[in-house]
Amino acid sequence: MVWRGGQGWYGRMLAAAVGVTAVAAATSVWTAQAGPVERPGARAGAPAPSSSAAGTHSQGPAGVPVSAVIAHASDLGARGVNITIDDGPDPVWTPRVLQVLRDNGVKATFCMVGTQAQAHPDLVKAVVAAGHRLCDHTVSHDTTMDKKPEAYQSQQILDAERMITKASGGVRPMYYRAPGGAFTPFSRQLAASHGMRPLGWNVDSKDFERPGTNAVVATVQHEIANGPTVLFHDAGGDRSQTVAALREVLPWLKQQGYSFGFPVR
């Protein structure tokens, strides 16, 4: 697996995807709405507006309609915060992140890479047992998959879904987050048709770049007004700064009157 660090690793968030697409020769049409703009040096965009346009929901396997529009909002409303943890599970850092979350009584959404989940099923089960939610983060974390054929996108999303579900003991991912924000209209619709809401973010903590614990904390504190969904990592390298930052950020958010929820479905 190749992990990309540095300034540009998560800097390439999809600026907008507005249009219509036909999927698998179906006649239904859906609207793809813009996610947050993620460019080096740019502020994360505000949550995308919700859409009531016909066709923006797909029927998931459980019979509950799942929107194909990228989610940013919290199920707890304006004072809710969604903590999301990407790229694991990792045998060193995921247990430490879980402990910090446990100590603060916080539930999070873990966006798991399929090969990582397959290699560490005990950690996937631990995440589920602690009451956190699962998110499909593809098989191999290819940040260029938006430029790949639809067959490749499908393989990356659906194989990861199967890997995570098997590793968890049967608990399916509730969300899909494209690596680096590399969503396409096709991938959004495909994920939604499998009951996984596409998941964006509003605040990139920049923890992947390891700028120092204080810098990670300051980024979250300064940017939380942009929206509720905050991006952290539990894999892809040394995540000691992430663990330390979470120890500071979670109590601080509580002090500001925020509660911790999950992304809307």
Active-site residue list: 86, 233
CA 153, CA 190: separation in Å to the nearest integer?
A: 9
8 A C-beta contact, residue 110 and residue 135: yes
Q: How many residues does the chain have?
A: 265
Residue 183: how many CA atoms within 13 Å on its side-chain side?
Answer: 33
Q: 3-state DSSP: the chain helix, strand, coil percent, rounded to 5?
A: 35, 15, 50
Q: Kindly give the pairing relationship between strand 57-59 and strand 65-67.
A: antiparallel
Question: Exposed, middle or buried: residue 40 (CB in 10 Å: 0-12, 13-18, 19+)?
Answer: exposed
CA 138, CA 114: separation in Å to the nearest integer?
A: 6
